[in-house]
Amino acid sequence: VTVSIKDIARAMNISYSTVSRALNNSPRVKAETRQQIQQLAATMGYLPSAVARSLVTRRTNTLGIVVTKITDLFFAEVIQGIEEAALSYGYSIILTNSAGQPEYELAAIQSLRERRVDGIILVAACASTESKQRLFSQPLETPIVIINNVHQEHIGFSVETDNLQGGCIATQHLLDLGHRRIAYIAGPVSEWDSVERQQGYVQTLQAAGVVVDSALMIRGDNLPAGGFQAMHQLLALPTPPSAIFCYNDVTALGAMRAAYSAGKSVPQDISIVGFDDISLAAYFEPPLTTVAQAKLEMGEKAVQMVLDLLAGQPVMEKSVLPSRLIVRASSQAFR
């Protein structure tokens, strides 16, 4: 049913290489015949086969992306950045989901390689350090770029937010407001970005001469539920904190919910600062003060790196994007 260049060549009694040239706007074909060919192709409903083309060109114009969770608003925005950038370069993206499981991630990468994607972007890689090392050690393999590398060791190519700086500005903001008893609700332990943000938090406190209380550092997860639970623990403390810096915005959302359910109000009783600046954060009640990550830019940058890698151009191993504080209503001066 599908019409191929041979069909249209036959219909015009010419060789199919000429058809191929005409369709690719090669100058090596008379303008007139090109016209005719293109017209006939259109009327015959010809659709070039990207798979046949890929087989010979050894390029699929496709980027694989592996994400731990599609429904995370932060990742979704990063993916949007990737998709837009990819499209602008004529690339499509194959989206796969690792559900945060290293085995799935590796399986996904394998599958993408079988599909001969030109490059792979890992959004928050979850595989172990060793397996990542293996991924990058293979020579001449599909280029891989990791967004928000979750491990301490720097491996391969990555683009990430300056989490340390983010942790610093968030904490400094709270200090500037007069808070002294400031808590940190972390992400999952496995996430290195949470550790970095926490380091920024600790450093900033220390620099201000505020004693760092380990009881004020509580683990959450990537969901509101984690923030909710953590906040309950914090409120049960003999001396609860007056301000809280959260791993991310949804953690902050959960924390605020817990505060309300405990009869506390934000920011009157307790100030909250998030991280990410997801699109809904400005509409939370109260609108959330947060540290914005350059989500779209991260996606763009990652695509650029992959493409540069593919083109054999020199690429910096690590691209760090600054974050910036966005002050809204969830934080106020300590009274």
39 vs 49, beta carbon nearer DNA: 49
Alpha-carbon gap, residue 31 to 96, rounded angstroms: 44
Candidate residues 14, 107, 325, 327; the one interacting with DNA per rule CB under 7 A: 14
Helices vs strands, H then E, count in the chain: 12, 12
All residues at 6 or more sequence positions from 178 whose CB lies less than 8 Å from its CB, including other chains: 333, 334
Q: Which stretch binds DNA (CB under 7 A): 13-21, 69-77, 94-102, 202-210?
A: 13-21
x-marked contacts with a copy of itself along 203-232 as a string, rule CB under 8 A = ---------------------x---x----
Per CB under 7 A, the list member of 20, 61, 233, 304 interacting with DNA is: 20
- For DNA, the closer of residues 46 and 157 by Cβ is 46
* Number of residues forming the site for a copy of itself (CB under 8 A): 54
CB atoms < 10 A from the CB of 93, how many? 18
Tell me how far apart the alpha carbons of residues 2 and 50 are, in angstroms, rounded to a whole number: 13
In the complex with DNA, the residue whose CB is nearer, 16 or 136, is 16
Distances (CA, A) of 180 to 183, 215, 243, 244: 9, 14, 8, 11
Buried b (16+ CB within 10 A) or exposed e, 12-26: bebeeebbbbbbeee
Q: Of the ranges 41-49, 184-192, 223-231, 232-240, which one interacts with DNA (CB under 7 A)?
A: 41-49
23 is an interface residue for DNA by CB under 7 A:
yes
Least Cβ distance, residue 252 to a copy of itself (angstroms)? 10
Whether residue 218 contacts residue 234, with contact meaning beta carbons closer than 8 Å, is answered with yes
Strand partners, 271: 243
Q: How far apart are CA 283 and CA 293, in angstroms?
A: 17
User: 38, 54, 131, 199: which one contacts a copy of itself (CB under 8 A)?
Assistant: 54
Site string for a copy of itself, 70-109 (x = CB under 8 A): xx-x--xx-xx--xx--x----xxxxxx------------
Q: Residue 148 in contact with residue 193, Cβ under 8 Å? A: yes
> Do residues 66 and 120 touch, judged by C-beta distance below 8 A?
yes
Judged by the rule CB under 7 A, the positions of this chain that interact with DNA are 2, 4-6, 13-18, 20-21, 23-24, 27-31, 33-34, 46-49, 52-53, 55-58
Judged by the rule CB under 8 A, the positions of this chain that interact with a copy of itself are 1, 45, 47-52, 54-55, 60, 62, 70-71, 73, 76-77, 79-80, 83-84, 87, 92-97, 110-116, 138-140, 224, 228, 250, 253-254, 256-257, 260, 279-280, 282-287
